[in-house]
Amino acid sequence: MEKHFPQAPFAGKRIHLGVCGSVAAYKALDLLRAFCKVELRVTVTMTEAATRFVTPLSFQSLGAERVYGSMFGEGRTGDPFGHLRPGLEAEAFLVAPVSATTLARLACGLADEMLAGQALAWPGSLLLAPAMNPRMWNNQATKDNIAALERRGHLVIAPETGPVACGEEGEGRFPDLRIICLYALRSLSPQDLAGQRVLITLGPTREPWDCVRFWSNHSSGLMGASLAVAAWLRGADVQALRGPVAPWLPPQIQTRETPTAQEMLRTAEELWPDMHLGIFTAAVADFAPIPFGAEKFKKTSSTKGFNLSFQPNPDILATLARSKKAGQRIIAFAAESENLEKNAHCKLQTKNADLLVANLVGGEDCAFASPNNTALILDHNGGLLRLPTLPKGDLAWRILDCLSSL
b/e burial code for range 253-280 (CB count within 10 A of at least 16 → b):
bebeebbbbeebbebbeebbeebbbbbb
Q: Is 333 in the site for ligand CTP (CB under 6 A)?
A: yes
Of 38 and 316, which has the nearer Cβ to ligand CTP? 316
Q: Is 315 in the site for ligand CTP (CB under 6 A)?
A: yes
Q: Is 399 in the site for ligand CTP (CB under 6 A)?
A: no
Q: Is 277 in the site for ligand CTP (CB under 6 A)?
A: no
Tell me how far, at minimum, the Cβ of 241 lies from ligand CTP, in Å: 10
Select the span of 52-60, 293-301, 326-334, 383-391 touching ligand CTP (CB under 6 A).
326-334
Q: For residue 378, what are the CA distances in angstroms to 123, 196, 335, 381, 387? A: 41, 22, 14, 8, 11
Tell me how far, at minimum, the Cβ of 255 lies from ligand CTP, in Å: 17
- The bridge status of strand 287-289 relative to strand 310-312 is antiparallel
Distance CA 186, CA 194 (A): 11
Count of residues binding ligand CTP (CB under 6 A)? 17
Distance CA 49, CA 246 (A): 40
Distance CA 318, CA 316 (A): 6
Of 184 and 288, which has the nearer Cβ to ligand CTP? 288
- Find out whether 6 and 189 touch, Cβ atoms under 8 Å: no
Distance CA 94, CA 183 (A): 9
Q: Is 272 in the site for ligand CTP (CB under 6 A)?
A: no
**Sole binder of ligand CTP in the list 332, 395, 399, 402 (CB under 6 A):** 332
Catalytic residue among 36, 108, 166, 211: 166
Select the span of 104-112, 122-130, 279-287, 297-305 touching ligand CTP (CB under 6 A).
279-287
Restricted to residues 100-139, the positions that interact with ligand CTP (CB under 6 A) are none
**Which contacts (CB < 8 Å, 24+ apart) does range 87-91 have?**
87/118, 87/121, 87/122, 87/123, 89/14, 89/16, 89/43, 90/14, 90/15, 90/16, 90/43, 91/13, 91/14, 91/15, 91/187, 91/188
Tell me how far, at minimum, the Cβ of 114 lies from ligand CTP, in Å: 51
Tell me how far, at minimum, the Cβ of 206 lies from ligand CTP, in Å: 13
Q: Hey, how many other C-beta atoms are within 10 angstroms of the C-beta on 167?
A: 6
Of 20 and 317, which has the nearer Cβ to ligand CTP? 317
Q: Is 317 in the site for ligand CTP (CB under 6 A)?
A: yes
Q: For residue 240, what are the CA distances in angstroms to 8, 193, 277? A: 24, 16, 12
Of 157 and 231, which has the nearer Cβ to ligand CTP? 231
- Find out whether 53 and 28 touch, Cβ atoms under 8 Å: no
Helix-then-strand count for the chain, H and E: 13, 22
Q: Is 344 in the site for ligand CTP (CB under 6 A)?
A: no
- Angle CA(333)–CA(183)–CA(47) in degrees, nearest 5? 155
Q: Is 390 in the site for ligand CTP (CB under 6 A)?
A: no
**Sole binder of ligand CTP in the list 160, 263, 286, 365 (CB under 6 A):** 286
Q: Is 334 in the site for ligand CTP (CB under 6 A)?
A: yes
- Angle CA(202)–CA(207)–CA(208) in degrees, nearest 5? 140
Q: Is 183 in the site for ligand CTP (CB under 6 A)?
A: no
* Amino acid symbol at 335: A
**Sole binder of ligand CTP in the list 107, 131, 282, 376 (CB under 6 A):** 282
Distance CA 204, CA 218 (A): 7
**Sole binder of ligand CTP in the list 46, 236, 335, 378 (CB under 6 A):** 335
Q: Is 280 in the site for ligand CTP (CB under 6 A)?
A: yes
Site string for ligand CTP, 187-226 (x = CB under 6 A): --------------x-------------------------
Select the span of 39-47, 132-140, 281-289, 393-401 touching ligand CTP (CB under 6 A).
281-289
Of 133 and 352, which has the nearer Cβ to ligand CTP? 352
In total, the chain counts a number of residues equal to 406
Distance CA 113, CA 45 (A): 10
Reply yes or no on whether 20 is catalytic.
no
Residues that bind ligand CTP (CB under 6 A): 201, 261, 280-282, 284, 286, 313, 315-317, 332-335, 347, 351
Residues taking part in catalysis:
166
